[in-house]
């Protein structure tokens, strides 16, 4: 399917800067804190950044000079050789830092809503003190902005909050890493050094835009279909209504067939392979093993038809950082992933890279071969272990997950501050109930006049967007999503290590009650590949914590997956220079083009 394209909304843009410009100009001028330690660090790095990194297939051998071995393991390990290795180690690290510093600082472009609406109704303010429905206390908001601008840890402790609920780790967006491209070097432009030729983080759709309205329409339809098994979509009346309405919306970013959105394509991603086979990825349902421990992939889910925040009182309480005291009602029957509620329940308490670690176990169970570029694939005398073997494969998933989250958290807190879909539903409720004049912002008529909004009102009695969780969304901005950026990073690692063209043998699909698995017999069953199912898994997880739960927009996921992929590629490129083994590995990226990681 086609790759998501940058949004059409006009944004407020911070001009791009080259790395040799003055330090104060090479950092974003809005909310990036200018801490002394950060100034000194970047200034010192800029002073040694003399060598450019190459784009495309990245090979740094010329940077390091010819070298025979990192180890010299057949020598006596005397003191002088120890010094030589220490010097070589320092050189590798410095040259990697130089190469990363040559990545230009891109523009960090927002949708302009924060500047456009004085009452901040289009901006994330959840858990800050609120003055009324949809209206943050402006002193509280200024305390929040002051903390972001200053970067002073003490200022974060002085943010004026509304209730007991706390903000989720805004200072993570300020973290430095010792590998990969820095958070501030991803933005509203491609990143050729990391082999990304599409815009990595474009501005999110603006509140009044048709693109925003289209995304909110999709959210309402997903909430209405939360308990319908995916296998029943083709015959479900509500799914047919959803597909019909979304087909008529030119800004709809999901996949189409012959120009139309079909029920079977609802809430799918548009990256390669995602429309092939069942909705649920094979990596989410195929039984496997963790060592000697069997993993059935049955899960705990929540009871159907129990939704939250559909009354104005509880909605306002939650926006102010309060609690309704309610908890999700657990379904006592274990089930395989088979509905939107199942996906939402899974992501409510998952370890963020959990799905991809289990996916790695499934790859082992089904006998998927390693990437053809792996140096040990055809070795006569060696197998991989600490490098290019099982411990390496599994440990890298956790490593890139943490690094990717930091990149997302910078964008969330220090650039975009996009509000959550429940806030969009709150604005729809105020407008449709005659209270729209209390806000500075307004929604596009495409959502205000939509069948989705009216159908939701018919079910719940208000225009609020129903939520799968009593607390609604987490307490951090929406764009990009953490689950999505981890997804993009982790599937990139698995593509690097495994053969993405391997066809999944004997594919499965959950039964309509989710109690068992049955063979998938669709005509495309022999076209279900590792790469396609990894892309699908990423969207299953991120849409589970997004569209299906009611807490993230489609664009949050699509953009965050690209950001995660770029982050993983930057780390793989840096790490490639540390291995004694020589290799050239290629894999297919989310846009369908090929990435190459090489140290030859």
As a three-state string, the secondary structure of 261-275 is CCHHHCCCCCCCCCC
What is residue 515's predicted lDDT score, i.e. its pLDDT? 98
Which of the four pLDDT bands, split at 50, 70 and 90, describes residue 91? Answer: very high
Distance of alpha carbon 124 from alpha carbon 136, whole angstroms: 9
Which of the four pLDDT bands, split at 50, 70 and 90, describes residue 76? Answer: low
* pLDDT for residue 51 is more than 50: no
User: Do the beta carbons of residue 565 and residue 488 sit within 8 Å?
Assistant: yes
* pLDDT for residue 598 is more than 90: yes
What is residue 318's predicted lDDT score, i.e. its pLDDT? 98
Better-scored residue on pLDDT, 472 or 77 = 472
User: How far, CA to CA in Å, does 305 sit from each of 99, 124, 504?
Assistant: 53, 28, 34
What is residue 233's predicted lDDT score, i.e. its pLDDT? 98
What is residue 56's predicted lDDT score, i.e. its pLDDT? 37
User: Do the beta carbons of residue 457 and residue 226 sit within 8 Å?
Assistant: no
Taking Cα atoms as reference points, which of 38, 75, 100 lies closest to residue 403?
Answer: 100
User: Do the beta carbons of residue 355 and residue 284 sit within 8 Å?
Assistant: yes
Which of the four pLDDT bands, split at 50, 70 and 90, describes residue 464? Answer: very high
What is residue 315's predicted lDDT score, i.e. its pLDDT? 98
User: Do the beta carbons of residue 373 and residue 296 sit within 8 Å?
Assistant: no
Taking Cα atoms as reference points, which of 404, 365, 374, 369 lies closest to residue 508?
Answer: 365
* pLDDT for residue 277 is more than 80: yes
Q: Write the pLDDT tens digit of every residue in 14-47.
A: 344 444 333 333 333 445 454 444 434 344 443 4
Distance of alpha carbon 187 from alpha carbon 210, whole angstroms: 23
Q: Write the pLDDT tens digit of every residue in 5-15.
A: 333 333 444 34
User: Do the beta carbons of residue 196 and residue 190 sit within 8 Å?
Assistant: yes
3-state secondary structure of 44: helix
Distance of alpha carbon 206 from alpha carbon 156, whole angstroms: 27
* pLDDT for residue 343 is more than 50: yes
> HSE of 101 in the Cβ direction (CA atoms, 13 Å)?
22
What is residue 75's predicted lDDT score, i.e. its pLDDT? 54
What is the average per-residue pLDDT within 491-503?
A: 98
Among the listed ranges 32-36, 191-195, 247-251, which one has the minimum average pLDDT value? 32-36
CA 280 to chain centre: 18
Better-scored residue on pLDDT, 3 or 156 = 156
Topology of the domain comprising 210-598: Vanadium-containing Chloroperoxidase; domain 2 (1.10.606)
* pLDDT for residue 69 is more than 50: no
CA 476 to chain centre: 14
Distance of alpha carbon 405 from alpha carbon 411, whole angstroms: 10
Q: Domain segments of the chain: what residues?
A: 210-598
Q: Write the pLDDT tens digit of every residue in 344-363.
A: 999 999 999 999 999 999 99
What is residue 337's predicted lDDT score, i.e. its pLDDT? 97
What is the average per-residue pLDDT within 380-402?
A: 97
Distance of alpha carbon 212 from alpha carbon 189, whole angstroms: 21
β-pair type (584-588, 517-519): unpaired
Mean of per-residue pLDDT scores for the chain: 90
What is residue 81's predicted lDDT score, i.e. its pLDDT? 82
Q: Which residues contact 15 (CB under 8 A, 6 or more apart)?
A: 107
What is residue 577's predicted lDDT score, i.e. its pLDDT? 93
What is residue 26's predicted lDDT score, i.e. its pLDDT? 34
Q: Which residues contact 60 (CB under 8 A, 6 or more apart)?
A: 53, 95, 96, 99, 576, 577, 599
584 forms beta bridges with 598
What is residue 74's predicted lDDT score, i.e. its pLDDT? 53
User: How far, CA to CA in Å, does 236 sit from each of 59, 228, 240?
Assistant: 52, 8, 6
* pLDDT for residue 565 is more than 70: yes
Distance of alpha carbon 565 from alpha carbon 81, whole angstroms: 38
What is the average per-residue pLDDT within 412-429?
A: 98
What is the average per-residue pLDDT within 76-95?
A: 85
What is the average per-residue pLDDT within 396-407?
A: 98
Distance of alpha carbon 148 from alpha carbon 90, whole angstroms: 34
Output the DSSP codes for 498-559: B-TTPBPSS-EEE-TTSSSEEE---TTGGG-BHHHHHHHHHHHHHHHTTTTTTSS-HHHHHH
What is residue 232's predicted lDDT score, i.e. its pLDDT? 98
What is the average per-residue pLDDT within 158-187?
A: 97
């Amino acid at each position: 399917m086609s790759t998501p394209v940058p949004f059409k909304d006009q944004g407020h843009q911070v001009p791009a800067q080259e790395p040799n410009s003055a330090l104060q100009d090479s950092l974003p001028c809005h909310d990036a804190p200018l801490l002394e330690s950060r100034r000194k660090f970047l200034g010192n790095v800029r002073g040694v950044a003399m060598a450019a990194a190459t784009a495309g297939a990245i090979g740094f051998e010329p940077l390091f000079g010819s070298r025979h071995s990192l180890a010299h393991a057949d020598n006596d390990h005397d003191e002088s050789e120890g010094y030589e290795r220490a010097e070589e180690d320092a050189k590798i690290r410095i040259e990697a830092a130089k190469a990363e510093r040559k990545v230009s600082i891109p523009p960090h472009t927002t949708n302009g809503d924060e500047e456009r609406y004085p009452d901040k109704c289009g901006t994330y303010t959840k858990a800050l003190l609120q003055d009324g429905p949809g209206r943050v206390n402006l002193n509280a908001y200024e305390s929040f902005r002051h903390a972001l601008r200053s970067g002073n840890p003490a200022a974060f402790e002085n943010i004026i909050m509304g209730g007991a609920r706390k903000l989720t780790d805004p200072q993570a967006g300020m973290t430095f890493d010792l590998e990969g491209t820095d958070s501030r070097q991803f933005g509203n432009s491609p990143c050729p050094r990391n082999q990304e030729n599409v815009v990595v983080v474009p501005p999110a759709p603006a509140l009044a835009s048709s693109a925003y309205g289209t995304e909110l329409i999709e959210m309402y339809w997903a909430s209405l279909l939360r308990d319908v098994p995916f296998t029943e979509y083709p015959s479900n009346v509500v799914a047919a209504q959803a597909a019909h309405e979304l087909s008529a919306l030119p800004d709809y970013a999901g996949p189409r067939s012959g120009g139309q959105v079909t029920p079977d394509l609802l809430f799918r991603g548009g990256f390669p392979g995602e429309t092939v086979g069942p909705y649920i990825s094979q990596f989410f349902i195929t039984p496997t093993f963790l060592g000697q421990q069997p993993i059935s992939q049955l899960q705990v889910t929540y009871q159907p038809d129990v939704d939250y925040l559909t009354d104005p009182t509880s909605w306002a309480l939650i926006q102010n950082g309060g609690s309704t005291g309610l908890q999700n009602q657990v379904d006592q029957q274990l089930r395989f992933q088979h509905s939107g509620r199942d996906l939402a329940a899974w992501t409510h308490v998952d370890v963020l890279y959990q799905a991809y670690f289990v996916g790695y176990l499934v790859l082992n169970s089904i006998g998927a071969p390693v990437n053809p570029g792996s140096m040990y694939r055809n070795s006569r005398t060696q197998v991989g272990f600490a490098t290019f073997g099982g411990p390496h494969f599994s440990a890298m998933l956790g490593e890139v997950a943490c690094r990717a989250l930091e990149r997302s958290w910078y964008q969330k807190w220090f650039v975009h501050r996009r509000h959550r879909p429940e806030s969009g539903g709150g604005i729809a409720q105020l407008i449709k109930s005659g209270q729209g004049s209390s806000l500075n912002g307004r929604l596009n008529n495409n959502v205000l006049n939509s069948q989705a909004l009216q159908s939701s009102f018919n079910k719940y009695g208000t225009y609020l967007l129903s939520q799968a969780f009593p607390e609604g969304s987490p307490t951090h901005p929406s764009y990009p999503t953490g689950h999505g950026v981890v997804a993009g990073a982790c599937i990139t690692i698995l593509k690097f290590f495994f053969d993405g063209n391997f066809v999944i043998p004997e594919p499965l699909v959950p039964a309509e009650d989710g109690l068992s698995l049955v063979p998938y017999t669709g005509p495309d069953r022999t076209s279900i590949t590792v790469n396609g199912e990894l892309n699908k898994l990423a969207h299953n997880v991120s849409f589970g914590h997004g569209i299906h739960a009611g807490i993230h927009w489609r664009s949050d996921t699509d953009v965050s997956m690209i950001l995660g992929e770029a982050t993983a590629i930057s780390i793989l490129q840096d790490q490639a220079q540390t291995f004694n083994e020589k290799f050239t590995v290629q894999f297919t990226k989310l846009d369908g083009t090929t990435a190459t990681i090489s140290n030859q």
